[in-house]
Amino acid sequence: MQNNNSHKTKSFGQTFTRCYDQAVFISFVHFIVLSI
């Protein structure tokens, strides 16, 4: 039970990190496009 919960939290952390990286990348691209 505890092991399963830990695994779920870990996968959620990976998903959150991936979404955050994507958001930062998109913001960076928008910034470049607006600068040109």
| Range 12-29 average pLDDT | 92
Mean pLDDT of the chain: 85
pLDDT bucket at 23, cuts 50 / 70 / 90: very high
Take residue 14 and report the two structure tokens written for it: 């990976």
pLDDT bucket at 16, cuts 50 / 70 / 90: confident
pLDDT over 90 (residue 1): no
Q: Cα separation of 31 and 19, whole Å?
A: 18
Q: What is the pLDDT of residue 8?
A: 74
What pTM did the predictor assign?
Answer: 0.55
